[in-house]
């Protein structure tokens, strides 16, 4: 069993969110679903009906998660995000476009919010390597280039890196 599992609190969109995420990430699956029973429905903040989804376990790329329909009490914010490490520009484009689909919002430096308000960082691994280079001038050029971007463009980063 995984020691630490991210637990995502949705108002009432847990099932929709899990379908969305598992459609984007290969090697993903939906696990067990727990439904509201009479006792849980009585105390739910949002008056969830008996038989509706309480929690759904799911897995993306080997990482286990749990989604909860907990009502409108808590909302996602940017203080927590999930990083998607990408090897190619094609991967960056795929995850960027799919995660921001249907109402997601672009932000800066590879960050976006999906339609549920969950924050993601779509990051090419080469960016991290460039930023850890021992040549400070190279890292500064890469940082300056990245700070101008929303979706990360590997070609532009490499041009900045090479000077």
Whole-prediction pTM: 0.92
Q: What is the CATH number of the domain that holds 53?
A: 3.10.180.10
The CA distances from residue 33 to 8, 16, 67, 99, in Å, are 14, 13, 10, 23
Per-residue pLDDT at 136: 97
What pLDDT does 51 receive? Answer: 92
Q: Which residues of the chain have pLDDT under 50?
A: none
Q: Residue 115: what pLDDT? A: 98
Does 122 share its domain with 56? Answer: no
149 and 119 in a common domain? yes
Q: Model confidence over 90-100: pLDDT tens digits?
A: 999 999 999 99
Q: Look at residues 59, 74, 89 and tell me which one is the last residue of a structural domain.
A: 74
pLDDT at 46: 66
* CA torsion through residues 149, 63, 24, 20, sign: negative
Q: Are residues 85 and 154 in the same domain?
A: yes
Last residue of a domain, one of 39, 74, 109: 74
**Residues 57 and 123 both lie in one domain:** no
Last residue in a domain, options 74, 94, 122? 74
The verdict on 70 and 91 lying in the same domain is no
Q: Are 89 and 45 within one domain?
A: no
The candidate with the shortest Cα–Cα distance to 84, out of 32, 127, 45, is 127
Element (H, E) at 14: helix 14-24
Quick one: 52 and 67 in the same domain? yes
For residues 60 and 106, membership in a common domain is answered with no
Task: Note the pLDDT of residue 41.
Answer: 81
Q: Are residues 91 and 141 in the same domain?
A: yes
Whether 46 and 86 map to the same domain: the answer is no
Same domain flag for 134 and 96:
yes
Domain hosting residue 44, numbered range: 1-74
Sign of CA dihedral 42, 45, 48, 53: negative
Structure tokens at 153: 């463009």
**Does 44 share its domain with 82?**
no
Structural domains counted in the chain: 2
């Amino acid at each position: 069993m995984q020691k630490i599992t991210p637990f995502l609190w949705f108002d009432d969109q847990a099932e929709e969110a899990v379908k969305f995420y598992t459609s984007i990430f290969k090697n993903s699956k939906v696990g067990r679903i727990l439904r509201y029973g009479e006792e849980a429905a009585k105390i739910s903040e949002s008056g969830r009906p008996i038989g509706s989804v309480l929690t759904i376990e799911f897995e993306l790329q080997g990482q286990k998660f749990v989604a909860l329909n907990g009502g409108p009490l808590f909302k996602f914010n940017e203080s927590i995000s999930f990083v998607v490490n990408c090897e190619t520009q094609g991967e960056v484009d795929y995850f960027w476009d799919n995660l921001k689909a249907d109402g997601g919002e672009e932000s800066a430096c590879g960050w976006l919010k999906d339609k549920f308000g969950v924050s993601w960082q779509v990051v090419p691994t080469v960016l991290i390597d460039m930023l850890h280079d021992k040549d400070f001038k190279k890292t500064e050029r890469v940082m300056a280039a990245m700070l101008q971007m929303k979706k990360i463009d590997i070609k532009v980063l490499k041009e900045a890196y090479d000077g």
